[in-house]
Amino acid sequence: MSYAGPEFDPFQPRRPRRRTLTVAVAVLVPAALAGWLVYEAVADTGGGRAGAAPATRSPAHSPNADSPTDDGGRTVAPPAPRPAPTAPAGTAAPAASGPLKGKVVVIDPGHNPGNFRHTAEINRKVDIGTNRKECDTTGTSTNSGYTEARFTLDVARRLRALLQAQGATVKFTQDGDRPWGPCVDERARIGNEAHADAAISIHADGASAGDRGFHVILPASVHAGAADTRPVVAPSRDLGERIAGNFVRVTGSAPADYVGGGTGLVVRNDLGGLNLSTVPKVFIECGNMRDTKDAALLTSGGWRQKAAQGISEGIVSFLRG
């Protein structure tokens, strides 16, 4: 999401290439297979589960739903199938037993890969309490065409797997399972109706080249129209501070040098996803897609796994108090 406003470059999709993991590696080096299975546990491919029999992609699988990709932007081919199409947005994903059992986390992958095809719909204004704003935007991209919408889905799926492994019930606002959107007011409503214990919207910024680093956006105290963030300002700040601290520790990334005064924290009152939330919620801009050094991180599958891990550990810290 561009910090400056809703104007972004057009979507430039790239056709991913698959690569396979040979059986020989799994036979000769059991440790490598074990490492792969650990990766599959944390790099969710939109519904796949390690350990099931191989199968082809379901014809009903949404063409907009990307799987986690490697450092070269190629889709990682899992040894296990995708058993079914992704559940509709707002539907709880299965949770395992663990320390977060009973906790609900809503993950909001920013934008949508199909938004650029539906400009009329996403340019429609919606009420965000303080004013009216575009339903959604296309998002930004790196100079090489790796889109924010693709990035956010990949990190969100990795984050979902990590939280599920600890027993949390995880819901998405969208999982590449709809042609566009949802609008920012609906994204907030999904978290509210889920009575989420924590909600996070994942983004990457489109600031000027040379601007680097991440920042977490916290809700301002807003009481206007349909918006009343007063009950969630304090817990949202706690959530945001924990995510920022863990993001630095796990990824090694520094707080943004162009906003937030070096704290990695920014308070805003112009984002419908925050203004309309009645549950603790923050946004995270994981880096600046327009800076070549940040873009090298954002396009790395290994770094995106670290990003998901850092966000996860911040959420876990918040939920466990």
For the chain, the structural domain boundaries read 18-320
Based on the residue annotation, tell me whether 285 is a catalytic residue of this protein. yes
Average pLDDT of 47-52? 33
pLDDT single digits (tens) 86-110: 455 556 655 678 999 999 999 999 9
**Fold entry, domain 18-320:** Aminopeptidase (3.40.630)
pLDDT single digits (tens) 227-286: 999 999 999 999 999 999 999 999 999 999 999 999 999 999 999 999 999 999 999 999
Task: Name the amino acid, one letter, at 46.
Answer: G
Q: Which pLDDT does position 97 carry in this prediction? A: 83
Task: Name the amino acid, one letter, at 244.
Answer: A
Total-model pTM: 0.74
Lowest mean pLDDT segment, chosen from 53-57, 96-100, 160-164, 200-204: 53-57
How many Å apart are CA 132 and CA 121, to the nearest integer?
Answer: 15
Q: Which of 148, 186, 285, 313 does the annotation list as catalytic?
A: 285
Lowest mean pLDDT segment, chosen from 24-33, 48-57, 282-291: 48-57
pLDDT single digits (tens) 11-42: 444 444 434 333 333 333 344 334 433 344 43
Q: What are the DSSP calls for 132-172, one per residue?
A: EEES-----B-TT--BHHHHHHHHHHHHHHHHHHTT-EEEE
Structural contact between residues 80 and 50, judged by C-beta atoms closer than 8 angstroms: yes
Average pLDDT of 176-187? 97
How many Å apart are CA 316 and CA 296, to the nearest integer?
Answer: 28
Place 196 in a pLDDT band, splitting at 50, 70 and 90: very high
Cis peptide before 113 (omega within 30 of 0): no
How many Å apart are CA 249 and CA 318, to the nearest integer?
Answer: 16
Q: Please name which of 193, 194, 189, 238 lies closest in space to residue 216, comparing C-alpha atoms.
A: 238
Average pLDDT of 201-213? 98
How many Å apart are CA 37 and CA 14, to the nearest integer?
Answer: 27
